[in-house]
Amino acid sequence: MLHVTPIYAGLLAVLFIALSARVIARRISAHVSLGDGGDALLMRRIRVQGNCAEYAPFGVLLLAVAELSGAAPLWLHLCGVALVAGRISHAIGLGSDPEVSALRRLGMVATFAALGVLALLCLGLAL
């Protein structure tokens, strides 16, 4: 049974909903129903949402596999916090106008660190 993963899956889902709401709000205000309509702000918001959609599910999957394989809760929480913080930092950095490159980079470093540690945990526990 999973006890740690649902916490971070839920937090990442809330983040994704918030990012999706920003895309929808911009679509409405820019009168764009499909694509980005050449609107720079909409394009940025779509990319921020898409980036979350690309990384968060893979992180949650690795977190669940590690937890089901018997990883220590401390490692799971450290990776979960890094993943959520990384996705938030990246979203703020990329979603700002002008872009805050330091936050974007910090977000990617935290995300990749979480994914890397989780990958090693999964491999170590499997072998």
Full 3-state SS string of 17-36: HHHHHHHHHHHHHHCCCCCC
Task: Map residue 99 onto helix, strand or coil.
Answer: coil
What is the average per-residue pLDDT within 8-18?
A: 98
Task: Give residue 20's pLDDT band: very low, low, confident or very high (50, 70, 90).
Answer: very high
What is the average per-residue pLDDT within 29-52?
A: 97
Q: Which domains does the chain have, with CATH numbers?
A: 5-126 (1.20.120.550)
CA–CA distances in Å: residue 47 to residues 4, 40, 95, 102, 127: 29, 11, 9, 17, 37
Alpha-carbon gap, residue 97 to 40, rounded angstroms: 10
8 A C-beta contact, residue 56 and residue 15: yes
Entry pTM: 0.95
Alpha helices per DSSP H over 2-100: 5-30, 40-68, 73-95
Mean pLDDT computed over every residue of the chain: 98
What is the average per-residue pLDDT within 1-10?
A: 97
- Nearest alpha-carbon partner for 71 in 115, 6, 122, 10: 122
Q: What is the pLDDT of residues 53-99, one digit of tens each?
A: 999 999 999 999 999 999 999 999 999 999 999 999 999 999 999 99
